[in-house]
Amino acid sequence: MSFPLLTVTTVVPAVGAILTAALPPATNTRSRDRNKVVPLAFSLATLVLACVAIARFQPHGARFQLTENHSWISQFGIGYSVGVDGIAVVLILLTTVLVPFVMLASWHDADPVVDDSGTFERNRRTQGFFALILAVEAMVVLSFEATDVFLFYVFFEAMLIPMYFLIGGFGDRTKGEDAKQRSYAAVKFLLYNLLGGLVMLAAVIGLYTKTHTFDLVSITTSLQNGTLHFSPVVENALFLGFMFAFAVKAPLWPLHTWLPNAMGEATAGVAVLITAVVDKVGTYAMLRFCLQLFPQASKTFAPAILVLSVIGIIYGALLAVGQKDIKRLVAYASISHFGFIILGIFALTSQGQSGATLYMVNHGVSTAAWLLVAGFLMSRRGSRLIADYGGVQKVAPVLAGTFLIGGLAILSLPGLGPFVSEFLVLVGTFERYPALGIVATAGIVLAALYVLVLYQRTMTGPVKPGNEAVGDLKARELVVVAPLIALLLVLGIYPKPITDIVNPSVNQTLSQVGRTDPAPHVVNAIGGGQ
Amino acid sequence: MDNLIPVLVAVPLLGAALLLCGGRRLDRVGHLLGTLLAFASFGVGLALFFSMLGRATDQRPIHDHLFTWIPVNGFQAEVGFQLDQLSMTFVLLITGVGSLIHLYSIGYMAHDEKRRRFFGYLNLFLAAMLLLVLADNYLLLYVGWEGVGLASYLLIGFWQHKPSAATAAKKAFLVNRVGDVGLSIAVMLMFTTFGTFAFTPVFAHASQATQATLTGIGLMLLLAACGKSAQVPLQSWLGDAMEGPTPVSALIHAATMVTAGVYLITRSSAIFNLAPTAQLATVVVGAVTLLFGAIIGCAKDDIKKALAGSTMSQIGYMVLAAGLGPIGYVFAIMHLVTHGFFKAGLFLGAGSVMHGMNDEVDMRKYGGLRKYMPLTFVTFGLGYLAIIGFPGLSGFFSKDKIIEAAFAHGGTEGWILGTCAMVGAAVTAFYMTRVMLMTFFGERRWVDDAEGNQPHPHESPAVMGIPMVILAFGSVLAGGLFSINSSFVNWLSPVTGYEEGHSPLSTTEVTTGTMVVLVLGVGVAWLMYGRRPVPAVPPLGSLLTRAARRDLLQDDFNHVVLVSGGSHLTRFLVYLEGRGLDGLVNGIAALVGGTSGRVRRVQNGYVRSYALSMFGGALVLVATTLLMRAVA
Amino acid sequence: MNPVNYLYLAALLFTIGAVGVLVRRNAIVLFMCVELMLNACNLALVTFSRLHGNLDGQIIAFFTMVVAAAEVVVGLAIIVSVFRTRHSASVDDTNLMKL
């Protein structure tokens, strides 16, 4: 038996989480730092494993690679089956890349309280924080790997638990009404996603009654060779059941209202974890499960979902413009971006889907860069209100510069990663639904509006009272930001390595759905080059 | 030799990277490094130019494919360069004028603490602009297109601590973004129509596309051009953009970036030639803007804003010419080049004046400066003569050709366009004379500024003077050089195509006409501003003047409709989000909570009542079982 | 004698016990009524065992006795401790379970 690489990739952070939680509470600076270095080391080890996985992945090889199959609950045909295609392996890499940065950016967010005499409050808060992040990482990675519907469902739901504690237990507002807001946000997050999960569970059971297996590969195979056939009513109902859960997680308008609360109340690092990592499972699952299990229903509902995504793009962007709170602004911007991702997935064109996959990566990196810098700024003043800032570029030029670059990535400036994916999504949509494509381009203008308005209000103008002492980025913070920006540049200038991995998988997905790209109207313009 | 093309872009890009990431240790040499790299880029451009001259006409365009950028089934975006006569013209203009302005900025920005960053941004601009004109496909052009937009944003807002500068920068970027949407839709249309967006195959197969598609692409490209080139209705950002340092206004907002729209239209000539509706829209935009800008230019007291109005108007001429089709493309580009010289020269002159006058921009506080700044006066004056089309100078050759071509368009349209262009020439003469008179002639009107400093008008240092002199030479000579043996037409026509226009008026008649309106414009200006002293406080003025001072109310329109409309919309949506969507969700939660609160009262704590409900439940269970059995 | 008569007796005893649980207030009496119900069940189980001719009913009866014994131990302890604190064995007074 070959080395179970994928299992190890998810076991390492899981073990890391347990080990971190078991570390003794910090009593001094050294033991405090040890409690943070250990989880960081585990996340870096996971990153190495993910790199190995992507290196061993052959883009033109089998549909699912590095597979492992073990029986789990054989009575119900539930197996522990993992395997990755091009889309999954790229998203695993994204997750494992982002987690160390999130940890490093959140380095002091959960430090133990030290009283005047220098004694550390003895509790496991610090370890808990980092252990929870590792737990989330393990579950997200396993969700990306799972090729068994039930296995996926279990971890899709289970990751709510550590996320709930991360949102509700750690945050920059700890007193009185504010703390109530935080627990409200955590509960709202949990309830929304549990509701989605519940509907999905019904659909999962419904699926089983029709297929008698949870194995994705065998279901799709029998769908394709005609041995399995859903009646339209059943297929539509099951599709909606799955889609509802993913649309809550992703989040698709109008199921998005948990995200601004959750991101607003969580620390910047956890907010990045929500939007850049956990939510990606939702969009990924649309590609993996909705399209592959229910190809007909996907085509039936695609126009409706596309309309919702376009509404989400515009609505999210407009609300972002109207926000007074930096983190909520980023959250609404994310809603707008998730609209683009879902648009790309359900346009059912290869440009759209490659673009959507790339968009997930780019959105993860760009939001991380933007929001983490914003988090550094907020940690300096302890305020999240835009109105409290002004003229920061005068006192902290590097911070302002990196914040601008992050913002430029968010508004899809060419040369940075998000442009490539956004353009692909728009082209992919436009070739099948021109009107929707054109409406979606309005999102480009609105993105520029909210990014630049935020930059102008916080960074430019005369230095607002209270901002004089805002220091520039420290070494640790630069270590977080610089690689992310470099990554954005690489993704924007030379995304070929990623697209080469993603394209074959997208083609296979599309052929399962039974859609081909519309041909150009003037066919011979390409001169037979294709 | 061919592989020098990427070097052209890479050199300033390297400069930008070094200067922006290099940190403080480059503070002392940053400006020199930036200027050196700009000149290096110009050197490479010259080398490529001479190599191109050495080849036969049909051998001149060269391609250089670098790498595949975005490969997705059917969507193959490449990074490749195409250097033909059109891009060569731009390369020389951009690097040439760009280098001079780098040199000038050494003096102009000498005392700015962020000088290193300024030169970094300038280098970034050069790289992006070169990418724009060298790209061999529309998507790569789009990268340069937004890149120059970014550089423009950074440079307009260079003095970020001034709220007005930050606002102007944001406005410029946003308005440009609206235009960019046009460009991206055009690229998408091309992709769905031709399956590609590279220049060569698109132009080769343009004739096979439907008329509607071509018109759509043309109009979208025009929208893009309107944004970048500050044409009506997207012109409102240019005036505010004057918040940037003056060298920026000279380079980006006069000589190069704002002319990118003209480049785009000329480059897409194959599409525009097949889409008459788009061409008509283009000439209308051009004609409207050339008058619009000229009128604004007449009313502004801020020397830079007056020049900005003039830029708008002159680009209107170019767009008009480009919209005329093959009879106009060459002249659009020719005017673009000569305009690059004299407008850059004028802006540098304005900068020199401001430099000597404690950054005062109000022309009503100038006056009689020719005695204090002789060099600036002479170079500015030559630029002035060039722009109003004084016989023998650059503007005379290029603008007259456009007016002629406008008449040659034929029919009633031709007469209307020609008349517009002619009227524009008169207004140009008027406002430029006004600027000239208010600045350099008359009595001195400067007063102590707010801090009580008396301005001491003085000539600028040589490092600023030399570029002004060179540009003045260009303003005087370029037009003539280009017209000898129609050298410019012969140079450019293989790329853009050229047709001799058949004007209902002969060249002599047109020239006579322009001379008459020229004298008229200058004369009126002299009567108003030369013969009698200029009041230090602007008179109320006519309704038109007052509207022109406010950019012909375009900003007010934008403010009422877009800004306040938009902010009401977002406020409404924020309300709706809280009360509507979230209200619904929270309402459901409250309903569940309330119901459970009521149900809870049944648990009264009496053991007996629990026992009773247990018995009741048992009874129901038994009854149900029996009933089911009876039924079965 | 017809074994079914034992079932009638068991039903009668069970009803007496149930009514007692519902109407009496004294915890001790209540307790005895519960015991009565359990024993009614035992009687019914043993009768069923006899009727069906197997030992299942008798086995379950033993289980019931064990449960009853355990219940007496725990229940009496609770009643005694309640009586000690409240000086009353009335079940209506013990309503602390109410929120």
Residues C33, C24 contacting (CB under 8 angstroms): yes
Measured between CA atoms, how close is C62 to chain B, in angstroms?
Answer: 23
CA pair distance B597, A508, nearest whole angstrom: 53
Measured between CA atoms, how close is B314 to chain A, in angstroms?
Answer: 28
H-assigned helices in B26-114:
30-53, 85-108
Nearest-by-Cβ selection for B608 from C22, C96, C98: C22
What are the residue ranges spanned by the domains of chain C?
A: 1-84
Inspect the interface and report whether the beta carbons of B612 and C18 lie closer than 8 Å.
Answer: no
Using a CB-CB cut-off of 8 Å, the residues of chain A touching B143 are 414-415, 419
Interface of B with C (CB under 8 A): 600, 603-608, 611-612, 615
Q: How many CB pairs under 8 A join A and B?
A: 183
CA pair distance B460, B19, nearest whole angstrom: 26
Nearest-by-Cβ selection for B573 from A322, A493, A530: A322
Using a CB-CB cut-off of 8 Å, the residues of chain B touching A522 are 193-195, 205, 208-209
Let me know if residue A304 belongs to a domain: yes
**% of chain B at pLDDT higher than 90:** 33
Do A220 and A305 have their domain in common? no
pLDDT tens digit string along A1-34?
578 888 899 999 999 999 988 888 888 888 888 8
Between residues B541 and A356, which one has the greater pLDDT? A356
At residue A529, the pLDDT reads: 38
Residues A306, A346 contacting (CB under 8 angstroms): yes
Based on its alpha-carbon atoms, the radius of gyration of chain C, rounded to whole angstroms, reads: 16
Do A420 and A453 have their domain in common? yes
Measured between CA atoms, how close is C38 to chain B, in angstroms?
Answer: 14
Let me know if residue A302 belongs to a domain: yes
Inspect the interface and report whether the beta carbons of B161 and A254 lie closer than 8 Å.
Answer: no
Nearest CA among A127, A198, A111 for reference residue A165: A127
Inspect the interface and report whether the beta carbons of B150 and A495 lie closer than 8 Å.
Answer: no
Inspect the interface and report whether the beta carbons of B174 and A452 lie closer than 8 Å.
Answer: yes
* Chain CA centroid to CA B467, Å: 23
Helix (H) or strand (E) holding A69: strand A65-73
- A400, burial (CB in 10 Å: exposed 0-12, middle 13-18, buried 19+): buried
Q: What is the mean pLDDT of residues B339-358?
A: 89
Nearest-by-Cβ selection for B603 from C30, C96, C98: C98
Answer whether A44 touches B (CB < 8 Å): no
Using a CB-CB cut-off of 8 Å, the residues of chain B touching A90 are none
Please report where in the chains the tokens 């290029």 appear, as a residue: B398
Domain of A471? Answer: 294-516
Nearest Cα residue in chain A from B176: A445
| Count of C-beta atoms within a 10 Å radius of residue C95 | 11
Q: Which residues contact B593 (CB under 8 A, 6 or more apart)?
A: none
Do A56 and A156 have their domain in common? yes
pLDDT tens digit string along B414-457?
899 999 999 999 999 999 998 888 888 888 877 766 666 677 78
Residues A399, A340 contacting (CB under 8 angstroms): no
Q: Which residues contact B357 (CB under 8 A, 6 or more apart)?
A: B365, B366, B369, B446, B455, B457
Between residues A314 and B564, which one has the greater pLDDT? A314
Inspect the interface and report whether the beta carbons of A524 and B150 lie closer than 8 Å.
Answer: no
CA pair distance B15, B33, nearest whole angstrom: 7
Cross-strand partners of A146:
A82
Contacting chains of C (3 CB pairs or more, <8 Å) are B
Inspect the interface and report whether the beta carbons of B72 and A423 lie closer than 8 Å.
Answer: no
Q: Does the pLDDT at position A528 exceed 70? A: no
Nearest CA among B106, B91, B199 for reference residue B466: B106
Let me know if residue A86 belongs to a domain: yes
**Is B in contact with C (3 or more beta carbon pairs below 8 Å)?**
yes
C1-84 fold: Helix Hairpins (1.10.287)
For residue A348, what are its two tokens? 């059912």
pLDDT tens digit string along A73-110?
887 878 888 889 889 999 999 999 999 999 999 888 88
Backbone angles phi, psi at B105, to 5 degrees: -65, -25
Q: Alpha carbon of B416 to those of A285, B113, B331: distances in Å?
A: 61, 52, 19
**% of chain B at pLDDT higher than 70:** 98
pLDDT tens digit string along B213-231?
999 999 999 999 999 998 8
Q: What is the mean pLDDT of residues B21-27?
A: 81
Do A357 and A272 have their domain in common? no
Nearest CA among B61, B163, B174 for reference residue A452: B174
Q: State the Cα torsion A134-A139-A143-A144 to the nearest 10°.
A: 10
Using a CB-CB cut-off of 8 Å, the residues of chain B touching A527 are 201
Do A78 and A47 have their domain in common? yes
Inspect the interface and report whether the beta carbons of B71 and A456 lie closer than 8 Å.
Answer: no
CA pair distance A164, A180, nearest whole angstrom: 14
pLDDT tens digit string along B494-541?
888 888 878 778 888 888 888 998 899 889 888 888 777 777 777 777
At residue A18, the pLDDT reads: 92
| Count of C-beta atoms within a 10 Å radius of residue C73 | 10
Q: Does the pLDDT at position B624 exceed 90? A: yes
- Give CA angle at B520 (B519, B526), nearest 5°: 85
pTM over cut 0.95: no
Task: Strands of A313-446 (E only): list them.
Answer: none
The average confidence (pLDDT) of chain A is 88
Inspect the interface and report whether the beta carbons of A426 and B181 lie closer than 8 Å.
Answer: no
At residue C97, the pLDDT reads: 54
CA pair distance A45, A56, nearest whole angstrom: 17
Using a CB-CB cut-off of 8 Å, the residues of chain C touching B596 are none
Inspect the interface and report whether the beta carbons of B615 and C94 lie closer than 8 Å.
Answer: no
Nearest Cα residue in chain B from C15: B615
CA pair distance A340, A356, nearest whole angstrom: 7
Let me know if residue A350 belongs to a domain: yes
CA pair distance B205, A281, nearest whole angstrom: 43
Nearest CA among B221, B492, B465 for reference residue B348: B465
Inspect the interface and report whether the beta carbons of A191 and B589 lie closer than 8 Å.
Answer: yes
**Is A in contact with B (3 or more beta carbon pairs below 8 Å)?**
yes
Nearest CA among B530, B546, B527 for reference residue B538: B546
H-assigned helices in A494-524:
496-513
The average confidence (pLDDT) of chain B is 87
Inspect the interface and report whether the beta carbons of C22 and B612 lie closer than 8 Å.
Answer: yes
Nearest-by-Cβ selection for A444 from B181, B195, B204: B181
Inspect the interface and report whether the beta carbons of A526 and B195 lie closer than 8 Å.
Answer: yes
Q: Does the pLDDT at position C53 exceed 50? A: yes
Q: Which of residues 72-91 of C touch B (CB under 8 A)?
A: 91
CA pair distance A155, A245, nearest whole angstrom: 13
CA pair distance B250, A6, nearest whole angstrom: 59
| Segment B144-147 long-range contacts (CB within 8 Å, at least 24 positions apart) | B145/A414, B145/B180, B145/B183, B145/B224, B145/B228, B145/B260, B146/A413, B146/A414, B146/A415, B146/A419, B146/B180, B147/A414, B147/A415
For residue A178, what are its two tokens? 């504010």
Answer whether A415 touches B (CB < 8 Å): yes
- C85, burial (CB in 10 Å: exposed 0-12, middle 13-18, buried 19+): exposed
Q: Which residues contact B126 (CB under 8 A, 6 or more apart)?
A: B12, B38, B41, B94, B95, B98
At residue A530, the pLDDT reads: 36
CA pair distance B464, B459, nearest whole angstrom: 10
Most A CBs within 10 Å: which of B27, B73, B178, as the mutation test of the A interface?
A: B73
Structurally, chain A folds into a number of domains equal to 2
Using a CB-CB cut-off of 8 Å, the residues of chain A touching B68 are 496
Q: Are strands B62-72 and B75-83 parallel, antiparallel or unpaired?
A: antiparallel
Do A301 and A349 have their domain in common? yes
Inspect the interface and report whether the beta carbons of B161 and A460 lie closer than 8 Å.
Answer: yes
Answer whether A181 touches B (CB < 8 Å): no
* Chain CA centroid to CA A277, Å: 3
**% of chain A at pLDDT higher than 90:** 44
pLDDT tens digit string along B69-86?
988 888 888 899 999 999
Do A271 and A343 have their domain in common? no
- B56, burial (CB in 10 Å: exposed 0-12, middle 13-18, buried 19+): exposed
At residue A210, the pLDDT reads: 85
Contacting chains of A (3 CB pairs or more, <8 Å) are B
Nearest CA among A257, A249, A276, A259 for reference residue A406: A276
Using a CB-CB cut-off of 8 Å, the residues of chain B touching A506 are 72-73
Inspect the interface and report whether the beta carbons of B146 and A413 lie closer than 8 Å.
Answer: yes
DSSP string, B120-171: HHHHHHHHHHHHHHHBSBHHHHHHHHHHHHHHHHHHHTSSTTSHHHHHHHHH
**Is C in contact with A (3 or more beta carbon pairs below 8 Å)?**
no
Answer whether C94 touches B (CB < 8 Å): yes
Q: Alpha carbon of B64 to those of A179, B67, B78, B434: distances in Å?
A: 60, 10, 11, 48
Nearest Cα residue in chain B from C98: B605
For residue B107, what are its two tokens? 């003096």
At residue B285, the pLDDT reads: 92
What are the residue ranges spanned by the domains of chain B?
A: 298-539, 559-631
Most A CBs within 10 Å: which of B160, B173, B199, B202, as the mutation test of the A interface?
A: B160
For residue B38, what are its two tokens? 């700009």
Q: Which of residues 361-400 of A touch B (CB under 8 A)?
A: 391, 393-394
Do A320 and A201 have their domain in common? no
CA pair distance A229, C22, nearest whole angstrom: 58
Based on its alpha-carbon atoms, the radius of gyration of chain A, rounded to whole angstroms, reads: 23
Inspect the interface and report whether the beta carbons of C94 and B604 lie closer than 8 Å.
Answer: no
Between residues A302 and B602, which one has the greater pLDDT? A302
Nearest Cα residue in chain A from B202: A525
Do A162 and A215 have their domain in common? yes
Answer whether A444 touches B (CB < 8 Å): yes
